[in-house]
Structure 1
Amino acid sequence: MPNKFYVDLHCHPSLKPLGKSFNSNSTKGKNSNNHKNNNSLYHKKKPHVVSKLFNIVTTMTKFTQTDLQTLADGNVHVIGASLYTMEKGFVINKLKTGIVCDALSNLAMGIGKKRIDNVQEHQDYFSDLELEYNFYKQLDNQLVDVKGKKVKYKLAKSYQELAGLKEEQNDFTTIYIVLSIEGMHALNTGLNGENSQCDEEEVLRNLDTIKNWEHPIFFVTLAHHFWNELCGQAPSLSGIVGWATDQEHGLDSSITPLGYKVIDKLLDDSTNRRMLIDMKHMNNKSRKAYYQYLSKYYALENIPLIVSHGALNGLKSHENPVNEISIGKQFLAEEINFYDDEIIRIVESGGIFCFQLDERRLIDDPKNIKKGWTKHQMKFNQSLLLWKQIQHFVEVLNARGHSDIWDNMAIGSDFDGVVNPLNGFWTGQDYASLLEYLTAHASSYLKSAQCPLMDQNKIDASEAIDKIFRWNALRFMEVNFSVREEALLV
């Protein structure tokens, strides 16, 4: 494999180009092989000075972050591309529908007014999911010329297909895409908010369809931003988007009877098509119910717990919300972030925790971020936000006598979703720089006389951060996204 490549287990390369494809009936749902067209997965819109300043002031991101041109330029060779059928709660909100609502939604997501109109009008989330899946399939494994460079992406059917990662980076660049789904409203639930009444047979039939897709889904988030009739969601929206939308219904709900049926079908591995469940966006009540359900019905199956794009809240537990580790006092102490006792659960399940590169999730108040008057100072201070999360993660494990405390973390940026990136690390092209700064933070920490880690946990700083940006995610896929030998013989 290349010496320096990166893995991002959660991002949304298709959100903007698929949205832009609706600008014309002739391009709707079509993935252009011309990178100059904004309905292409390869279309790159660089973060220039004005768009960076706009992001700093508004927290909204108008440039592209994980278009495949950017990923190729940044040596991001493996991604978890999250299929996301946009929820109506974003585009039918407190402002109802109309010019102001459409303008606000487009400002926040950059998908185009005609796509917003489409989401407001359609009555089938599942068809929308299939549309996005087909958007990826159109140029799967096809070489595209991008400014004189040959690039392609390949939808991976298993970890075994990543074996070509080294060989296929010589004459051209290959980006391997592992598919996931964000929000099981995609099964066609939650269409009408608190008044929703889905068709259970249709929901389970849609899930059967997904499990028979040509390209397996690695994992799914059961919840997302709004009530979906399956489980309760955590409060997640803030700023102008939070002001305009209404997440209230479902915030105090747990997993529903239909939710458990969906969980069982997702975890069914009888055809080697198990889809793991990502706990991001589930509220605490639903997460606790999920833990209990696994303990009762799946105790012998070693189901790994996943957080595909998360952050820590620094609190010991939901029942005992205190900061056992002082650095956690600086974190965003909200339910959407994860508690110390959940770190233990995730690691002991053989799971993985992927850090989201969203400034709003990493700190209690952005006003507390140290100001930097040079580019270096800015990047040092911004990367420190992520480093403190990593430090907290390993100290929680170390305090409980765990070894291999660096082995269950990865990156799940959530880029090209509705996120506010760390200033200076705007896109997937900035991972090399972020790795460099994090390695410096790790080195200072590990060499400090105040470092509380046991000797066996004081590994080389470069090795520690390399695990987070590459090796942990690949190892996790090798264990959990591999085709069994008996399946290979069929």
Structure 2
Amino acid sequence: MKNLISDLHIHCGLKGYASEGHPDYKDHTIWDFYPAQEAALKKLNPVLRMAIKELAKSSQANLDACAAANLRAPFLAIYPVERQMFALEPQKPFKTLFDILLGGKQHAYLGAAVSGFPIEKVEAILAEVANDKDEGVNYYHQFRMERDYLLRQTETRSKHFPDFQFTIASHHNEFRELLEAGKTISGVFTVEGAHSFGHYLHNSTFKKTFDGLSPKERQVLENSFRRNITEVKTEDDGRHAPFFVTFCHHFNNLLAGHARSFSAKSDLALGLHKPGMRHLFNQEPGLNHGFSSLGREVLELFLDRKAGRRILIDTKHMSVAARKEFYAVIRRKRKEENDPIPIIHSHAAINGWFTLDQAKGKAETKDLDKGHFFSRWQINLTNEDILEMYDSDGIIGVVLHEGRMPGEGFKKAAGKLKKKVDKARAGSPRRARLEQELKDLYLKLIWSNIFHIVKVVRENRPGNHRPANGWKMIALGSDYDGLVDPMDSFPEVTNFQDLKSEMIAYLEGGKEICFAQNGVAVALPSAEVSELMFGQTAEEILDGILFGNTDRFLSKYFTEAYLGMETGEAEEDSESDIAVAA
């Protein structure tokens, strides 16, 4: 298993799927690199270019890159792109400015630049969004098309790694067998957004609550979720059902409230902000709500093994209110129904608040993160979240997202370093030193998020004759190719082996690691860092995070016995110590 990498949340196929059939990419497959839409970027006006400056625009996670990095276990997040990503609604204080700037074809250029989709694809989506008939969208059709694209891609081969093959595993035994065969990328299906199974009758439906729908809107939406989820759970015995579904995403799905995920840019003078993603998209409908009655029904249907293969739930993007209600459901099932259900949070960062109620009481503005190392927004994990996941035998994927993980203090320090790097002469010792300094800043942030999780578990849960160990619940969940702002020192999956080596060197070098004390970064004493390692070497810890912990989780929960039986408990925990071909 040495140097093997898994990724709990990654979008390897999104750009390829969006470009399929386009004449410029007729010879491209999921293996190939898709460049940024430079023509669209060049035609954007400067203000819009600034608003999306930090987003990754070319491929980060095509399968050639995965093969080069030995990332052979990607959890392939299928994402029918939400209409609201293209139906822009500029927000104050830049509403008037953006209304002017988005005139003509600027809207289409922006969509292509952000998503990496060909301009023709974006224009077709915009035509659907802007139709005068207020026609909605059947996301399930889009889900099936993207899933079928991924299945077709298993027949393709890489031009650069011709001995490699790409497969989709339907259970853990198959997953292991495929990896043991060597030179195989063994994907696992997941879905980002439960909206993927719904038919929303009108574009205006997204502005409403479920209780506020017309009788026809309500009937269409209810029936579509019941029919489509049942179909995917039972079709071919659920062989191609997703292992888990990220229940919420960026926008209103009328099932459960989402957390705010888009932010402004850094401050200008006099307290003004630069325009950023928060000012382009309207996340207000459904923001911070709890579950609707339909959402509760859909949740039960995903988990119900009588209705077909169980689909687990990923809590990323859920609002605080939705998370609290979901945790109560999971505790009840575990304690009263003897039904253990692991809580997944596939691409996470911590905020350091002790409780969900504390996080809920904080206004998500840039002032909340001003001067801070960690981002303290509600979308990130509180200590209460971490303990709920530990109690459920869940798993947390650590996200590599510079827009979501750090606070403004970190961003300011990183920004200054980036400017110094850019000014330093290429190949000079000064530039090399500055680049390593920037790397170390990112490594400190990643390790601090990880050690915070372990510290919270150790201090708040009893162990058997020794403190509770949270290491086995931590994995990688990069979110690469998911329209993210990556860490500059590790912008693509091809950097992941370097990331591993650098993380080992950082930990072995005794460099500073922090935890969050009620949202504020505090340095961990070196003696406590050693205690929190639980006798493991840095390399052993990274082997677990990058593959072993995910494999252990799959060995318990990605099985026919657990997912397919009407009742029953997960298989006995195993360390899965079978040798895997590198």
TM-score category, normalised to shorter length: 0.7 to 0.9
Residue 129 of structure 2 corresponds to residue 114 of structure 1: no
Deviation for aligned residue 1:290: 0.7
Q: 1:21: which partner in 2?
A: 20
Give the counterpart letter for 2:412 in structure 1.
Answer: K
Give the counterpart letter for 1:99 in structure 2.
Answer: K
CA distance in 1, matches of 2:356, 2:63: 39
SS in 2 for 1:273: coil
Deviations 1:86-131 (A, max 9, x none): 0010101125896222211211111122222333417221101111
Match of 1:76 among 59, 71, 78: 71
Q: 2:194: which partner in 1?
A: 184
Aligned pairs for 1:436-447 within 5 A:
436-445=501-510
Give the counterpart letter for 2:444 in structure 1.
Answer: L
Q: In 2 relative to 1, CA 218–246 (structure 1 residues): closer, same or farther, beyond 3 Å?
A: same
Q: Larger radius of gyration, structure 1 or 2?
A: 2
Higher alpha-carbon deviation: 405-414 or 181-190: 181-190
Q: 2:312: which partner in 1?
A: 276
CA distance in 2, matches of 1:132, 1:273: 20
Deviations 1:382-420 (A, max 9, x none): 222211111211111222254322110000110001101
CA distance in 2, matches of 1:139, 1:336: 33
Residue 103 of structure 2 corresponds to residue 89 of structure 1: no
Q: TM-score, normalised by structure 1?
A: 0.87
Q: 2:516: which partner in 1?
A: none
Q: 2:536: which partner in 1?
A: 459
Deviations 1:336-380 (A, max 9, x none): 111011111111110000011101111112113372643323322
CA contact (8 A) 2:313 2:344 kept: yes
CA distance in 2, matches of 1:457, 1:78: 27
CA distance in 1, matches of 2:186, 2:291: 33
Residue 223 of structure 2 corresponds to residue 201 of structure 1: yes
CA distance in 1, matches of 2:507, 2:306: 43
Residue 17 of structure 2 corresponds to residue 42 of structure 1: no
CA distance in 2, matches of 1:468, 1:55: 35
CA contact (8 A) 2:354 2:383 kept: yes
Match of 1:343 among 378, 386, 401: 386
Aligned pairs for 1:37-436 within 5 A:
37=28, 40-45=29-34, 58-94=53-89, 99-120=105-126, 121=128, 123-140=137-154, 142=155, 144-147=157-160, 149-169=162-182, 173-189=183-199, 191-192=203-204, 193-195=206-208, 197-198=217-218, 199=220, 200-213=222-235, 214-239=239-264, 240-270=276-306, 273-299=309-335, 300-320=338-358, 330-365=373-408, 366-369=411-414, 371=417, 373-374=431-432, 375-400=435-460, 401=462, 402-436=467-501
CA contact (8 A) 1:13 1:67 kept: yes
CA distance in 2, matches of 1:89, 1:224: 11
Q: 2:44: which partner in 1?
A: none
Q: TM-score, normalised by structure 2?
A: 0.74
Give the counterpart letter for 2:18 in structure 1.
Answer: G
CA distance in 1, matches of 2:103, 2:559: 45
Q: In 2 relative to 1, CA 421–219 (structure 1 residues): closer, same or farther, beyond 3 Å?
A: same
Higher alpha-carbon deviation: 4-13 or 120-129: 120-129
CA distance in 1, matches of 2:10, 2:488: 18
Deviation for aligned residue 1:189: 4.9
CA distance in 2, matches of 1:87, 1:224: 9
Residue 552 of structure 2 corresponds to residue 475 of structure 1: yes
Give the counterpart letter for 1:308 in structure 2.
Answer: S
Deviation for aligned residue 1:256: 0.5
Deviation for aligned residue 1:145: 4.1
Q: 1:325: which partner in 2?
A: none
SS in 2 for 1:217: coil
CA distance in 1, matches of 2:448, 2:387: 18
SS in 2 for 1:179: strand
SS in 2 for 1:304: coil
CA contact (8 A) 1:446 1:458 kept: no
Q: 2:519: which partner in 1?
A: none
Q: Which sections of structure 2, spanning at least 5 residues, go unmatched?
A: 42-48, 90-98, 129-135, 265-275, 362-370, 422-430, 513-524, 566-582
Deviation for aligned residue 1:166: 4.7
Matched-pair identity in % = 25
Deviations 1:157-188 (A, max 9, x none): 1111122245422xxx2100100000011112
Deviation for aligned residue 1:46: 7.4
SS in 1 for 2:437: helix
Deviations 1:46-86 (A, max 9, x none): 79xxx9xx999911212211101110111001010000000
Give the counterpart letter for 2:105 in structure 1.
Answer: I
Deviation for aligned residue 1:320: 3.6
Give the counterpart letter for 1:178 in structure 2.
Answer: V
Deviation for aligned residue 1:272: 6.1
Give the counterpart letter for 1:287 in structure 2.
Answer: R
Q: Which sections of structure 1, spanning at least 5 residues, go unmatched?
A: 323-327
Give the counterpart letter for 1:319 in structure 2.
Answer: D
CA distance in 2, matches of 1:148, 1:289: 47
* Aligned CA-pair RMSD: 2.9
